[in-house]
Structure formats: C-alpha cells, structure tokens
Amino acid sequence: MPSVEAVTASSSAPSLSLAGLGWSEFFGDQLEPGDADLIPTRIAMVHRDRLSGLSQTGQTDLSLAPQATTGDYAVGDWVLVEPHSHLVRRRLTRKTVLERRVQGGRGPQLAAANVDTLFIVTSCNADFNIARLERYLALANEAGTTPVILLTKADTAEDAEAYQSQAAALQRGLAVVTLNPRISGAASALAAWCGAGQTVALIGSSGVGKSTLVNSLAGSAQQTGAIREHDAKGRHTTTARSLHAIAGGGWVIDTPGMRTLQVSDVAYGIDMLFAEITELAPLCKFRDCTHVHEPGCAVQAALKAGTLDPDRLARWRKLSDENQHNTPVLTGPRGAKSPAGRGKRR
Ligand SMILES: Nc1nc2c(ncn2[C@@H]2O[C@H](COP(=O)(O)OP(=O)(O)O)[C@@H](O)[C@H]2O)c(=O)[nH]1
Ligand SMILES: [Mg+2]
Ligand SMILES: [Zn+2]
C-alpha cells in the first residue's frame, strides 16, 4: 500500500458561499421540501476508498451508505449530506459529466462532473494533432462543457500563428488561447473562464503543460483536497482526482488518466463538431444517406462545389464510424435497435 499524505486544505481558505462553490439554479431546482436539513456539498476528492467534499463550512470527509462505492461519484458532483454523520444521502443530477470508456472496461469511468469549461491543452509541436483535437472536442461537446483550446510552447515554435488558425478552424465559435504556463500571469489569459463559481478541467497529452498550468491557476497556498501518494520508487504522484481553488475564484479539476480516449457514445458531440456536414444532411435526397454514392447527396454536392473540406469529411467519417462501432446498442421492443446514448441520464 502506498503511504498517503494529504496536502491539507488551507485553514485560511476563502469563505465558501454556495454560489462560489459552483451552485446554481440548476441544482437548487432539484431540492425537495424534505431536504432542508441536508447540507449541499461539492465532491472535492475521490479516492478508491475515501470521498471528501466542500460545503459552506469547509472540507468534510464523507461517508457512504453500505451499498454505495466511491466510483459512483465524480469530482465536482453535488451531493446532499447529513449534518452529523456526514453520510451522503443523495447525488444531484449533473449538469455536465466527463467520462471515458476504458478498452475492455466495465463501462464508462467518471472523470469529472459539473465542469463548465474543458481546456484542451496541446503544444505547438509534434503533439498538435487535428484528429486527436477533434476527438477531445467531440467529448467536450457530448459532456455539455464548453471546449477551449490552449496552445502551449509557442515560444519554441517557428510559426505559432499557423497552429492558432488551424485550431480555430476545428469548430464554429471555438476559443483558442496561446499561452506559456511557465510565465507568471498565464492564468490571467484564462480569467474569462475562471471566475467565481466557474469550474474548469484540463485534458491533453503528457508533457504539454497541464500540471504547470494547474499550479499557476491554483497558486501554491490554495490546494484543496489534493492527495499525494508515494509510488514504488518513492516519487510523489498525484493519483486522486481533486478540486483545486483558482486564485481568482473558480475551481480547476485535475483529471489524471484523461490523456487517451476512445470515442464512443458521442454522436451529439460529433454533430456539433462537424456542424457544416450535419447541416447538409437534411438536404440529401435520402434520409439515411451515407454521403458516399447516393444521388441527390448535398454533402457530395458541397464537396464538388468546393465549399466542403474533403479532409474534414474524411475525418468526420472515420470518427463517426469509430463512434458507431464502439457505442453499445440496446435492443429495444421487437428487436429494434437504438443507440444507448439517447436520453442519457446524468
Ligand atoms: N518552453 C515552454 N515550456 C513549457 C511550456 N508549457 C509547459 N512547459 C514545460 O513542459 C514540461 C511539461 O509540463 P507539465 O506541466 O509537467 O505537463 P503535463 O504532463 O501536461 O502536466 C515542463 O518542463 C514545463 O515547464 C511552454 O509554453 N513553453
Ligand atoms: Mg502533469
Ligand atoms: Zn448525403
């Protein structure tokens, strides 16, 4: 067993209002008359066998009913807690949820909940990969979070503007920020997404600057609920998912292990990402047009007219096929099959 040492929540933490913790009408609307004595608490740290939360009174170790497991909860979740026992009575429905499907796994793994903005971090070098960025975007769209692309290491690239414009073209209205996480003040470039009560998370390959950025967002004194473990070689590694206060008022969720992802059950996210293709489909002659060979295909017409990028179409096809292949299909009444993603419960 690794020895575990908590990086203690600073006792001088800023006063925590519900709104400051990220509470909003969306959660307030879920309260029922009998909930009055329960304490709304935000899950701050999920460990294999422990759960801790933040409420207006500070940080609390939570206890779970015997049949519940910590795996049912994600960092960022809102739960209602009994005042004395600290027993989690109920989880509120999530506004957004980031999850990943593990190859051959037992179902999706929760990474973070109620994230408003997902910072997709990549660097201006060989890590920059359009098809992979599109995967992240589909995931963010599907989760209900606003994606923002952060480009790091522009200082080591010759044509940083080229990366910026390629990234901006990936989705309509997509914000792209070039920044150096090592320079003090990097966080101010992200202030628009990090205000009081806002929650952000980061995703991206190893080595692109995520930890550096989390540190500069959180500052050193404000770590909340972070847990460090010594691995076999005595190194410190952050293994638990945790919520950190951002100096300016918001929250950043660390999601170790969200580096690689398999696309599944993200049809909505793909539609949003490839809006220029999604919009053409209803104009095709056949409702189930595959946009490959059918007569009266609006997608093929746009391709011929030069208004649709053939590379985008190829990547859309690849991602859609992969999504379809990986998405579990439910067998409905009379053997009718429908994708499992419909009406997802959060
Ligand atoms: N030159 C330069 N180095 C950077 C930049 N961003 C991150 N780094 C460095 O890249 C290395 C990896 O950063 P880290 O935050 O550990 O990446 P992570 O694996 O995504 O958490 C560190 O040595 C950082 O100091 C940048 O914009 N410019
Ligand atoms: Mg890191
Ligand atoms: Zn078509």
Query: Which CATH number fits the domain that encloses residue 286?
Result: 1.10.40.50
Residue 1 belongs to some domain of the structure? no
3-state DSSP assignment of residue 52: strand
Ligand 1 atom nearest 156 alpha carbon: 1
Residue located nearest, by CA, to atom 14 of ligand 1: 209
At 181-217, the pLDDT tens digits run 998 788 899 999 999 999 999 999 889 999 899 888 8
pLDDT at res. 168:
97
Q: Ligand 2 centroid to 195 CA: how many Å?
A: 23
Ligand 1 pocket, Cβ-based, cut-off 6 angstroms: 152-153, 155-156, 180-182, 204, 206-212
pLDDT at res. 334:
45
pLDDT at res. 175:
98
Residues 78, 83, 84: CA angle, nearest 5 degrees: 135
User: Model-level pTM?
Assistant: 0.86
Q: Ligand 3 centroid to 50 CA: how many Å?
A: 51
Residue 331 belongs to some domain of the structure? no
Using 50 as the pLDDT threshold, list the residues of the chain that sit under it.
Answer: 1-13, 220-239, 332, 334-343
Residue 340 belongs to some domain of the structure? no
Same domain for 210 and 307, yes or no, is no
pLDDT at res. 229:
38
| Local structure of residue 257 (DSSP, 8 states) | T
| Whether the Cβ atoms of residue 244 and residue 222 lie closer than 8 Å to each other | yes
Same domain for 117 and 247, yes or no, is yes
Residue 113 belongs to some domain of the structure? yes
pLDDT at res. 223:
44
Residue 333 belongs to some domain of the structure? no
At 232-250, the pLDDT tens digits run 444 444 445 788 899 878 9
Q: How many domains does one find in the chain? A: 3
Q: Ligand 2 centroid to 183 CA: how many Å?
A: 17
Report which of 240, 148, 156 is spatially closest to residue 203, judged by C-alpha positions: 148
Ligand 1 atom nearest 202 alpha carbon: 20
CA torsion 288-294-295-297 (nearest 10°) is 60
Count how many Cα atoms sit within 13 Å of the Cα of residue 10 in the half-sphere of its side chain. Answer: 13
| Local structure of residue 77 (DSSP, 8 states) | -
